[in-house]
Amino acid sequence: MRLEPIANPTLPRRLGLPALAIGSTVVIASLLAMMAGANPFSVLGLILQGAFGSKFAILETLNRATPLIFTGLAAAVAFRAKFWNIGAEAQLYSGALITVVLGTGLLAWPSPLLLPVLALAAVLAGAVLLLIPALLKTRFGVDEVVTTLLFNFIFLLFISMLLEGPLKDPMGMGWPKSARVLPEARLPRIVEGLRLHWGFGLAILSAIAVWVLQTRSTLGYEMRAVGNNAEAARFAGIPVNTVLVKTALLSGGLAALAGFSEVAGLKGSLTLDLSPGFGYTGIIVAMLALLNPIGVIFAALFVAGIFVGADSMSRAANVPTYLADIMLATALLFMVLAIMLTRFRVVRD
Amino acid sequence: MARDGVLRLNDITKRFGKLIANDAVSLTLHRGEVVALLGENGAGKTTLMNILFGQYTADQGAVEVFGQTLPPGNPRAALDAGVGMVHQHFTLAGNMTVQENITLGVQPLFSLRSGTQTARKRIVELSERFQLKVNPDARVGSLTVGERQRVEILKALYRDVKILILDEPTAVLTPQETEDLFATLRQAIANGLSIIFISHKLHEVMAISDRVVVLRHGKLVGEVNTKDTDPKAMSAMMMGTSATPPDIVPAQPGGVLLQLDRVSTADIGNAPGLKSISLALKAGQITGLAGVSGNGQAALADLVGGMQAPDAGTLTVNGDTPTSWTPREAVAKGIARIPEDRHKTGTIADFDLTENAILERYNSSDFSASGWLNWRSARDYANGIIEKYDVRCPGADTRIRLLSGGNMQKLILGRVLEAGPQIILANQPVRGLDIGAVNYVHSQLLAARDAGAAVLLISEDLDEIITLSDVIHVISEGRLSPGFTRGEMTPPELGIWMAGHGFEEAAVAS
């Protein structure tokens, strides 16, 4: 068996294979549900219902999708330029940290002033955090996969230290938890009475902004050129290292917005379980979206839907929530396979 | 029937979608024979060879080697039957050494002795016998294009092939080396090898082949004994009409546009940098750079193209010495740069024609304002190039990887010539192109020269240099010979310089 490149894949091939990947994921999930002793159709139905079946469910899914859109965009932007930022988790926490540091009373400003400043500060924090691996890569050729990945552990331990020390909430009854941010530092709800905050709106706007940047701006053109063929980009006069650093700044900033949005929109304070791996799941989101910023929105909704749906399904059908993790993993594997099969044809000898 | 033919292709047909790359092509190769396979790019030569070698599976027809039908689509079968191919686009692992590349896939998998010493002895012996000079311990990634091809040829010879397919093998050799190669090929033939030789250089085909097979648009259009034909007739068969090379009128040299004064640059891996060279590029003149691949051509191209600033000495462009020397600076100074490798450095494969057309000038005011691209003007610009330079493509939104080499090169030509450059760096501008495209590129360079541009032509094809250049310099080990005017030197005389002789004497004399 060999692979033969396909010069120009047809539209059915480009859209049908990803659809098939999702379909196969559903089939595998059904088999696992059967092994767990449940009726696969009712399990799938329960997941769907849990994710999108009621107003409450939809809002929950949208809330869960919000940080994933940010981290998904962070990965999509960086990967497009072949800058492998695996450190969105750390950048997310840096955004959350700065939001808590500035938002718990240090800046006592009215909301319309405070929120943009906090968001901007978060972007800067994430950007600065990723600047270090970016400079190590461009100056000394240090592999950014290693540095960004290790930064996750370092930064999480750093947060842990802060939460046990200077940032520990005196009213927190000994829990490693920061004080709550001021009411002025809370993102308002999009519709009063519904549990969906403006972090979601900011995420959608960010996705559109990234899309416009990638397709219309010279910087986006440079990023795509560097990612596609760095040698040709350098020959054409594109300052490859500068572009990589700018990409890193943007990517880190986007990931940090997830932290800002979670603290200011949802949780109100910083804890060590603020993110159940949103930074890593963002990579899956970006891959499912084929690195397309608009696609990231839908991929994030898909992933968030599986998580939220699996939670409620688990309560109703007594099937472990781990089914969600398995579905995500199989979706990713099948999608990677689908991406390859859109570009190559398997030839049997 | 199968007794005299060591290799038979029977009625090979291969379709790619609507395109018929090979249309019922039949070919027989006899023992001890050299068959030249001629045809324009896209005529189906490479497809046919890939089918023979098992890279592609034919839709119809069969390949027979020594009377045995090969299972289709299995490169292993072809290799085991004694068919070896030296591809035009090399298939080497850049991060491994020459020796590792050569022995890759033929080492015993389970053996106490690695056989490294035996392999090494054999490689050294082969490389001496076939005069293919390479260092077995050099990393392939650091080798030049020419040296890599030698490794490719050695790789095939190491596998004890009975049938050798050579896809444009002489593109990177000096005339002497080509003669040496031909001598060894003749030796190989005498020992019973059979060779299929793909080349665009008609006089080489005349010199080495016994029979010529011509493909056009996937069909076999002619098969003649070499002694019964001549280059003009072969060219006519290939093109369908007879192609005429551009007429060359004498140059009208003007002032010096680019001057190098005792410039040195650092070595790049195993390839030498420049060793205190001085060179003046004059308006309205083509300056040719002859030399064996890997002797500093890349360093000079990088210098003129803005990829590398001089480490010592001065570079003067249009009378002033730039303080920073980058690709962007070079483009701003009016230097048109046609890179050596149009796939790897000249274009971005997954970008469309529009995006590739503006690659060097996307941030100029023609195509962008305050950081935002103007796609409408970019598309108009690309469409202008497509029309004016006859780039055959479905449209400006086609990804450039789908274009043939010739059409890709036309887009690059258009991209650099539309800016009205004063200085043109043409590095291997016709490498791998068919005769029609070669003539087109050459006539464009001559037209630019006549319009007053200073052209630096770097080529490993000495014929091309001699035909086009008004002044020829030879580069060897990073040193530059004095300039020789048109007709001053014969190819063998230039070959002596190319082999590295005469530089000390010239240095003393100056």
Q: What is the pLDDT of residues B440-494, one digit of tens each?
A: 999 999 999 999 999 999 997 788 898 899 999 999 889 999 999 998 888 878 8
Least confident of B1-15, B53-67, B236-250: B236-250
What pLDDT, on the 0 to 100 scale, is given for residue B300? 96
For the residues B76-82, what does the mean pLDDT come to?
A: 84
Output the average pLDDT for chain A: 91
Beta bridge partners of A4: A345
Query: In whole angstroms, what is the distance from residue B177 CA to residue B170 CA?
Result: 9
The whole-number average pLDDT for the span B81-95 is: 81
From the list B73, B337, B368, which residue is nearest A2 (CB)? B73
Whether residues B372 and A216 touch (CB distance < 8 A) is answered with yes
Distance from CA of B435 to the nearest CA of A (A): 25
With bands split at pLDDT 50, 70 and 90, how would you rate the model's confidence at B1?
A: very low
Q: What are the pLDDT digits (tens) for B110-155?
A: 666 667 888 888 888 888 777 677 888 888 888 766 677 778 878 8
| Of residues A2, A217, A237, nearest to B331 (C-beta) | A237
- Cβ of B348 and A228 within 8 Å? yes
Q: How far is CA B314 from CA A286, B306, B330, B492, in A?
A: 49, 13, 15, 33
Distance CA B441, CA B432 (A): 12
Measured between CB atoms, which of B328, B339, B348 is closest to A237? B328
Q: Is A8 on the interface with B (CB under 8 A)?
A: yes
Query: By the CB < 8 Å criterion, does B467 face chain A?
Result: no
Set of chain B residues whose Cβ sits within 8 Å of the Cβ of A8: 399, 402
Please indicate whether residue B53 or residue B123 has the higher confidence score (pLDDT): B123
pLDDT tens digits, A144-201: 999 999 999 999 999 999 999 888 888 877 788 898 999 889 998 887 777 889 999 9
Across the interface, do B305 and A218 touch by the CB < 8 Å criterion? no
pLDDT band at B339 (very low <50, low <70, confident <90, very high): very high
Distance (Å) from the C-alpha of residue A126 to the closest C-alpha of chain B? 24
Residues forming a β-bridge with B10: B62
Q: What number is the ipTM of this complex?
A: 0.86
Q: B76 and chain A: CB distance < 8 Å anywhere?
A: no
Give the DSSP per-residue string, B438-480.
HHHHHHHHHHHHHTT-EEEEE-S-HHHHHHH-SEEEEEETTEE
- Dihedral angle at the C-alpha atoms of A228, A230, A236, A242, nearest 10 degrees? 110
Nearest-5° angle of CA B129, CA B132, CA B138? Answer: 125
Per-residue model confidence (pLDDT) at position B93: 86
Assign B2 a pLDDT band (cuts: 50, 70, 90): very low
Quote the pLDDT of residue A139. 94
Q: Is the pLDDT confidence value at A72 over 60?
A: yes
B360 in contact with A, Cβ within 8 Å: yes
Q: Which residues of A touch B73 (CB under 8 A)?
A: 2, 347, 349
Contact list in A for residue B352 (CB cut-off 8 A) is none
Say if B346 is an interface residue toward chain A (CB within 8 Å).
yes
B95 token code pair: 């991060």
> According to the model, what pLDDT value does residue B108 have?
67
This prediction's pTM: 0.77
Give A138→chain B minimum CA distance, Å: 17
Residue B83: what pLDDT? 87
User: What's the mean pLDDT in A111-127?
Assistant: 95
Q: Is B369 on the interface with A (CB under 8 A)?
A: no
Give how far B422 is from chain A: nearest CA, Å: 18
In this prediction, residue B3 carries a pLDDT of: 46
Rounded to an integer, the average pLDDT of A87-98 is 96
CA B225 to chain centre: 27
pLDDT of residue B241 exceeding 60, the answer is no
A235 contact B CB<8A: yes
pLDDT at B184: 73
Collect all residues of chain A within an 8 Å Cβ-Cβ radius of residue B351.
Answer: 224-225, 228
* Higher pLDDT, residue B187 or B481: B481
- Picking from B56, B73, B348, the nearest residue to A229 by CB comes out as B348
Contact (Cβ atoms closer than 8 angstroms) between residue A167 and residue A271: no
Q: Which residues of B are less than 8 Å from A349 in CB distance?
A: 57, 71-74
Whether chain A has a CB inside 8 Å of the CB on B74: the answer is: yes
Q: For residue A290, name the pLDDT band (cuts at 50, 70, 90).
A: confident
Whether the per-residue pLDDT at A297 is higher than 70: the answer is yes
Which chain B residues are within 8 Å of A347, Cβ to Cβ? 57, 73
The reply to whether residue A235 touches residue B57, judged by beta carbons under 8 angstroms, is: no
Q: Which residue has the tokens 């210098």?
A: B303
Nearest to B371 among A4, A217, A232 (CB): A217
Q: 3-state secondary structure string, B98-113?
A: HHHHHHCCCCCCCCCC
- Count A/B contacts: CB-CB distance under 8 Å: 71
Give residue B245's pLDDT: 64
Q: Is B182 on the interface with A (CB under 8 A)?
A: no
Q: Give the CA angle between residues A220, A152, A161 to the nearest 5°.
A: 135
Q: Which residues of B touch A232 (CB under 8 A)?
A: 344-348, 359
Is B360 in contact with A221 (Cβ distance < 8 A)?
A: no
Which residues from chain B sit within 8 angstroms of residue A225, using beta carbons? 348, 351, 355, 359
Residue A219 forms contact with B (CB below 8 Å): yes
Residues in chain B within 8 Å Cβ distance of A228: 348-351
Among the partner-chain residues A4, A8, A228, the one whose CB lies closest to the CB of B351 is A228
B141 in A contact zone (CB under 8 Å): no
Answer yes or no: do A235 and B56 touch at CB < 8 A.
no
pLDDT the model gives residue A235: 95
Whole-angstrom Cα distance, residue A73 to residue A296?
Answer: 7
Contact: B349, A228; criterion CB under 8 Å: yes
A21 lies within 8 A of chain B by CB: no
B231-245, B374-388, B440-454: range with lowest mean pLDDT: B231-245
Pick from B20-24, B278-282, B431-435: least confident: B431-435
Q: What is chain B's mean pLDDT, rounded?
A: 85
Structure-model confidence comparison of residues B502 and B337, the more confident one: B337
Residues 6+ apart with CB under 8 A from B428: B340, B458, B459, B460
Alpha-carbon distance A200 to A301, whole Å?
11
Average pLDDT over residues B287-296: 87
> Looking at the predicted structure, is the pLDDT value of residue B344 above 60?
yes
Q: For A135-153, what is each residue's pLDDT tens digit?
A: 999 999 999 999 999 999 9
Nearest to A237 among B16, B327, B401 (CB): B327
Query: With pLDDT > 70 as the criterion, what percentage of chain A qualifies?
Result: 98
Q: Give residue A304's pLDDT.
A: 94
Q: How far is B470 from chain A (nearest CA, A)?
A: 28
Please list, residue by residue across B85-102, b when 16 or more beta carbons sit within 10 angstroms of its beta carbon and e when fewer do. Answer: bbbbebebeeeebbbbbb
Averaged pLDDT, B91-111: 81
Q: Looking at residue B343, what DSSP letter applies?
A: I
| Residue A181 Ramachandran class (φ > 0 left, ψ -120 to 50 alpha, else beta) | beta
pLDDT greater than 60 at residue A125: yes
- Tell me the Cα Rg of chain A: 21
